[in-house]
Amino acid sequence: MMTKSKYPSPDMIKKKRLDAGLTLQEAAELIHVTMQGFAKYETDNLKIKRQMHPAFWELFCLRVKELGD
């Protein structure tokens, strides 16, 4: 079973997106989710918060890196 600490925090996700200069829509398209779904990864609101699976986080980081290359 995966431990909770392996999931990226909302702040980590948002920082990575903003540092890459991506809108929510652009970030969502990189990992094939909706803009609304991606926004839920970045919120601390417990009613709508959704944890980003580590596989999606890894994909997002790889795709952002590709944009910079």
| Number of separate domains in the chain | 1
CA distance 35 to 24: 6
Asked if 59 contacts 48 with a C-beta cutoff of 8 angstroms, the reply is no
Range of the domain at 45: 7-68
The CATH number linked to 50 is: 1.10.260.40
> How many Å apart are CA 32 and CA 65, to the nearest integer?
17
Question: Considering the entire predicted model, what is its pTM?
Answer: 0.85
13-30 residue pLDDT tens = 999 999 999 999 999 999
Q: Is 56 a domain residue?
A: yes
Q: Is residue 1 part of a domain?
A: no
Q: Kindly state whether residue 58 falls inside one of the protein's structural domains.
A: yes
| Sequential pLDDT tens for the chain (69 residues) | 445 568 999 999 999 999 999 999 999 999 999 999 999 999 988 888 899 999 999 999 999 999 987
